[in-house]
Amino acid sequence: MNNRPFPHQINEYHGKVRDVYYIDNQILVMIASDRISAFDVILPSPIPFKGQVLNQIAAYMLAATKDICPNWLLATPAPNVAIGKKCTPFKIEMVVRGNLVGHAWRTYQAGGRILCGVTLPEGLNENDYFPTPIITPSTKASEGHDEDISKEEIIAQGLASAADWDILEKYALALFQRGKEIAANRGLILVDTKYEFGKIEDTIYLMDEIHTPDSSRYFYADGFEERQSKKEKQKQLSKEFVREWLIANNFMGKEGQTVPAMSADWIDTISKRYIELYEQVIGEKFVPQKLSDEETYDIVCATLEKLS
Q: Say whether 259 sits in a helix, a strand or coil.
A: coil
Q: Say whether 77 sits in a helix, a strand or coil.
A: strand
**At residue 303, what are phi and psi to the nearest 5 degrees?**
-70, -40
Question: So what's the pLDDT on residue 146?
Answer: 77
Question: So what's the pLDDT on residue 143?
Answer: 57
Each residue's pLDDT expressed in tens, for the chain with a length of 308 residues: 557 899 999 999 998 899 999 999 899 999 999 999 998 899 999 999 999 999 999 999 999 999 999 999 999 999 999 999 999 999 999 999 999 998 999 999 999 999 999 999 999 999 999 999 999 999 976 555 679 999 999 999 999 999 999 999 999 999 999 999 999 999 999 999 999 999 999 999 999 999 998 899 999 999 999 999 999 999 988 888 898 999 999 999 898 999 999 999 999 999 999 999 899 999 999 999 999 999 999 999 999 999 98
Residue 9 pairs in a beta bridge with: 23
Nearest to 282 by CA among 274, 271, 290: 274
Continuous H helices in 89-207: 102-109, 151-156, 162-185
Q: Which residues neighbour 206 within 8 Å (Cβ) at sequence distance 6 or greater?
A: 62, 65, 69, 70, 71, 72, 171, 175, 195, 196, 197
Continuous H helices in the chain: 50-64, 102-109, 151-156, 162-185, 224-229, 240-248, 264-282, 293-307
**At residue 233, what are phi and psi to the nearest 5 degrees?**
-65, 135
| C-alpha distance from residue 10 to each of 20, 35, 63, 183 (Å) | 11, 24, 28, 39
Domain boundaries, the chain: 89-242
Answer yes or no: CATH 3.40.50.9100 is held by domain 89-242: no
Q: How far apart are CA 101 and CA 109, in angstroms?
A: 10
Q: How far apart are CA 126 and CA 240, in angstroms?
A: 14
pTM of the model: 0.91
